[in-house]
Amino acid sequence: MERLSEKEILIQLQNLNGWTLNEGALEKPYLFKDFKEALAFINEVGILAEEVNHHPEIFNVYHKVRLRLSTHDANGITIKDIDLAEKISTLQ
Amino acid sequence: MERLSEKEILIQLQNLNGWTLNEGALEKPYLFKDFKEALAFINEVGILAEEVNHHPEIFNVYHKVRLRLSTHDANGITIKDIDLAEKISTLQ
């Protein structure tokens, strides 16, 4: 799994609403009505992550969730991250 | 809800296995077998948090979970944080 160049990443990000490149990962912040909705979203992301065996970093504070995607083995961002970001984007 | 002094916090922490005072919050790291078990734990914590209407910050990376507890309104740590840490400690 080869890591993408910054140029390749930025091209891919044009089609990924709300995702940005931040400190070496694809990142997206989410805001929900309350904790319950935030947790439901985390569980949906978890199902997708298990399906593709690739897992985002998940940060949650009450109604806020922040996801970060990178590929540890490639020490950067790969097409696996782009693919999972696309899948996660279909949840909302 | 009054914030506890550092001394009061450290006394309480003597009875809270694995919790430490770190950068203004009660913090505990957890390590699970895999993501699925980590997510199950997050959901259990979520149920407790909803019951007492007090929510930790939750950080998850695959099989790792880190919880941070503080009371935003009190700008510090209160007995609510100690109580929730105790409840969460009964999960494992």
In this complex, do B36 and A50 lie within 8 Å of one another by their Cβ atoms? yes
Question: Average pLDDT in the B28-41 region?
Answer: 98
> Cα dist. A32→A24, A90, B33 in Å?
25, 16, 29
Taking CA–CA distances from B56, the nearest residue in chain A reads A61
Q: Which of A44, A54, A62 to mutate to test the interface with B (most CBs of B within 10 A)?
A: A62
pTM of the entire structure?
A: 0.95
Q: Which of B88, B81, B50, B30 is nearest to A39 (CA)?
A: B50
Summarize pLDDT for A4-43 with one digit per residue, the tens.
Answer: 999 999 999 999 999 999 999 999 999 999 999 999 999 9
| For residue B1, pLDDT beyond 90 | no
Give the type of residue at A30.
Y
3-state secondary structure of A55: coil
Q: Does A55 touch chain B (CB under 8 A)?
A: yes
Any chain A CB within 8 A of the CB of B6? no
Q: How far does A37 lie from chain B, in Å, by closest CA?
A: 11
The complex's ipTM works out to: 0.94
Give the mean pLDDT of chain A. Answer: 96
Interface test with A, best of B61, B68, B73 (most A CBs within 10 A): B61
SS3 content of chain A, % helix, strand, coil (to 5): 45, 25, 30
